[in-house]
């Protein structure tokens, strides 16, 4: 049976699977247990919380712990709320401290106190320290369960320590080295412990860290640095370079994915989703989406004022080509601003090459304006059967609108970034909406000037 067939069979015979009263129910459950834990977690979270927990409890302890790791945060919190103290402790001990921090939004204050009471004192202090950090900082997403070694240890002694710590702490390809005061001094690669002399002190071959992340440094800046220096891990330090944790390759992927998702949402005039779509309350999503759309609708209404002002001018054939003009302006500005946003995200665009980029885009605007203007003239004159003067007015308007769109699309994101606003807001639909209004105004002004000749 394929996974989809197993899932369909479970939904069809759910009561039989839960009661284990029939051969079919037992057979389907055994098939489910053979799937990857991530696939099982995804299926369980699609059932609804009541059915989820009924089916979740049918797995043995080890399977539950593995499935729990892949569940959405809201389902993790639900499983914890229904489990007994012994099971809760198993789940909490199986989680990284920063993962426990992520459950805060889905638990009540009383539940949180109860969970903290189950944790060891040292672990409680770690979670509480994470709660005090800015959610957008590197410290909020760093892995605090990483192994660090003292610089005076030998290779043989380091291996002994790692063998003892392995069940409690995650072992990464990079191992960070600290001094007696827990200050970061460098790093070694895991394979160094295999290749070097067992009696060699690790300080004799440790390397200098390419980048060091401050605990309050913004996550996006950290991801940009790591991508620039092509490193898959970076240590996080506090005051006086005290080692606190690390940004791992998995965390880097999460930051980049979240950053890309945020840019996409902002470009689409959607509020940032702190949690997944299904974990976000309906009315919170409605308020966020409706708010953006209300503002855009109100801004767009200003175009009617311009149309009313130039009603006589547009009463003829010029009105027919307004959609072509506004679409061209909006698409051009969106295209240009998207290039800027992507350049900021990749680190290719920065303060050092602003002028070079703007010069290049202005030249691009000129050539696009000429090309699209000529294309518009041909379209209007030959296919629209308009006079040469009307065709020239529309073509010139298209050229001016394209020049303006490229200029604003390339310049506005830099201005927003300079004043501390996310440049993704400059992309569609805000800039496109603005260009609709400005495009109509330019169309009326340019056409009026040409037709009055």
Of 98, 132, 166, which closes a domain?
132
Q: Are residues 156 and 99 in the same domain?
A: no
Please name the residues in contact with 446: beta carbons below 8 A apart, sequence gap of 6 or more.
393, 396, 397, 400
Q: What is the mean pLDDT of residues 329-335?
A: 88
> What is the per-residue pLDDT for 234?
92
The pLDDT tens digits for 436-449 are 999 999 999 999 99
Q: What is the pLDDT of residue 166?
A: 59
**To the nearest whole percent, how much of the chain has pLDDT over 90?**
36
* Position 110 in a domain: yes
Per-residue HEC secondary structure of 52-121 comes to HHHHHCCCCHHHHHHHHHHCCHHHHHHHHHHCCHHHHHHHHHHCCHHHHHCCHHHCCHHHHHHHHHHCCH
Same domain as 128, residue 175: no
Question: Are 71 and 193 found together in one domain?
Answer: no
Tell me what pLDDT residue 321 has.
93
What confidence category does residue 370 fall into, taking pLDDT thresholds of 50, 70 and 90? very high
Whether residues 438 and 365 fall in one domain: yes
Using one digit for the tens of pLDDT, what is the confidence trace for 421-437?
778 766 667 788 888 99
Residue 10 has pLDDT above 80, yes or no: yes
Banded pLDDT at 167 (limits 50, 70, 90):
very low
**CATH, residue 115:** 1.25.60.10
Residues 6+ apart with CB under 8 A from 358: 410, 411
User: What integer pLDDT is reported at residue 127 of this predicted model?
Assistant: 56
Q: What pLDDT, on a 0 to 100 scale, did the predictor assign at position 116?
A: 63
What integer best gives the mean pLDDT of the chain? 85
Q: Are residues 311 and 430 in the same domain?
A: yes
User: CA dist 27 to 9, 21, 93, 95, 144, Å?
Assistant: 10, 11, 32, 31, 42
* 8 A C-beta contact, residue 115 and residue 100: yes
Q: What is the mean predicted confidence (pLDDT) over 164-173?
A: 63
Note the pLDDT tens digit of each residue in 335-344.
888 888 888 8
> Does residue 166 share a domain with residue 38?
no
Phi, psi of 218 (to 5 degrees): -60, 140
Do residue 321 and residue 445 come from a single domain?
yes
Which residues are registered as beta bridge partners of 143?
A: 246
The domain boundary, picked from 219, 248, 277, lies at 248
What's the number of CA atoms in the CB half-sphere (13 Å) around residue 76?
Answer: 24
Clarify whether residues 114 and 173 are in a common domain.
Answer: no
Beta strands 243-247; 234-237: pairing state:
antiparallel
Distance, CA of 66 to chain centre: 25
Q: Using an 8 Å Cβ cutoff, are 35 and 6 in contact?
A: yes
**pLDDT band of 133, cuts 50, 70, 90:** confident
- Note the pLDDT of residue 94: 75
Residues 103 and 171 grouped into a single domain: no
Taking the C-alpha atoms of residue 153 and residue 196, their distance in angstroms, rounded to an integer, is: 13
Q: Are residues 126 and 153 in the same domain?
A: no
Question: In the prediction, which pLDDT does 118 show?
Answer: 66
Asked whether residue 211 falls in the same domain as residue 315, the answer is no
State yes or no: pLDDT of 218 exceeds 70.
yes
Per the model's pLDDT, the better-predicted residue between 293 and 276 turns out to be 293
Domain that holds residue 349: 301-451
CA distances from 357 to 342, 348, 353, 415 (A): 13, 10, 6, 14
Strand-pair partners of 137: 218
Three-state secondary structure of 359-425: HHHHHHHHHHHHHHHHHHHHHHHHHCCCCHHHHHHHHHHHHHHHHHHHHHHHHHHHHHHHCCCCHHH
Number of domains in the chain: 3
State the pLDDT at residue 393: 94
- Average the pLDDT over 92-103 and give the result: 70
Other beta carbons within 10 angstroms of residue 207's beta carbon come to 12
- Tell me the range of 84-98, 191-205, 280-294 where mean pLDDT is highest: 191-205
Give yes or no: residues 215 and 340 share one domain: no
- The answer to whether residue 290 is domain-embedded is no
Give the three-state DSSP class for 171: coil
**How many other C-beta atoms are found inside a 10 Å radius of the C-beta of residue 229?**
10
């Amino acid at each position: 049976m394929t996974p989809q067939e197993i899932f369909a069979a479970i939904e069809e015979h759910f009561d039989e699977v839960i009661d284990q009263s029939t051969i079919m129910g037992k057979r389907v459950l055994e098939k489910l247990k053979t799937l990857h834990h991530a696939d099982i977690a995804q299926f369980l979270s699609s059932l609804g919380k009541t059915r989820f927990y009924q089916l979740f409890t049918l797995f043995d302890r080890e399977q539950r712990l593995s499935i729990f790791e892949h569940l959405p945060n809201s389902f993790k919190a639900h499983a914890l709320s229904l489990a007994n103290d012994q099971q809760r402790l198993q789940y909490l001990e199986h989680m990284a401290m920063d993962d426990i921090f992520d459950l805060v939004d889905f638990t009540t204050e009383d539940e949180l106190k109860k969970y903290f009471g189950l944790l060891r004192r040292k672990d409680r202090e770690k979670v509480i320290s994470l709660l005090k950090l800015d959610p957008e900082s590197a410290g909020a997403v760093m892995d605090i369960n990483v192994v660090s070694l003292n610089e005076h240890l030998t290779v043989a002694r380091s291996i002994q320590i790692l063998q003892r710590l392995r069940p409690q702490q995650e072992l990464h390809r990079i191992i960070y080295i600290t001094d007696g005061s827990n200050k970061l001094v460098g790093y070694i690669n895991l394979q160094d412990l295999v290749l070097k002399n067992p009696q060699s002190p690790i300080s004799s071959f440790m390397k200098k860290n390419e980048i060091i992340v401050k605990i309050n440094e913004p996550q996006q800046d950290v991801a940009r640095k790591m991508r620039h220096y092509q490193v898959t891990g970076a240590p996080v330090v506090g005051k006086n370079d005290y080692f606190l944790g690390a940004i791992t390759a998995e965390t880097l992927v999460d930051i980049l994915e979240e950053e890309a998702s945020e840019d996409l949402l902002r470009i689409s005039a959607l509020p940032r989703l702190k949690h997944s779509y299904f974990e976000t309350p309906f009315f919170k999503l409605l308020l966020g989406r409706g708010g953006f759309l209300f503002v855009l609708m109100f801004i767009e209404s200003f175009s009617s004022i311009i149309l009313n002002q130039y009603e006589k001018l547009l009463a003829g054939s010029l009105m027919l080509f307004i959609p072509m003009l506004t679409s061209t302006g909006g698409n051009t500005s969106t295209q240009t601003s998207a290039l800027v946003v992507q350049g900021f995200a990749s680190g290719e665009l920065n303060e050092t090459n602003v002028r070079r980029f703007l010069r290049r885009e202005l030249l691009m605007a000129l050539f696009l304006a000429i090309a699209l203007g000529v294309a518009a003239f041909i379209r209007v004159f030959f296919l629209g059967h308009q006079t040469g003067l009307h065709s020239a007015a529309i073509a010139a308007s298209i050229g001016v609108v394209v020049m303006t769109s490229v200029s604003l699309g390339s310049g506005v994101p830099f201005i927003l970034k300079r004043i501390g606003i996310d440049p993704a807001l400059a992309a569609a639909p805000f800039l496109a909406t603005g260009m609709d209004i400005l495009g109509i105004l330019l169309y009326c002004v340019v056409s009026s000037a040409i037709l009055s000749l």
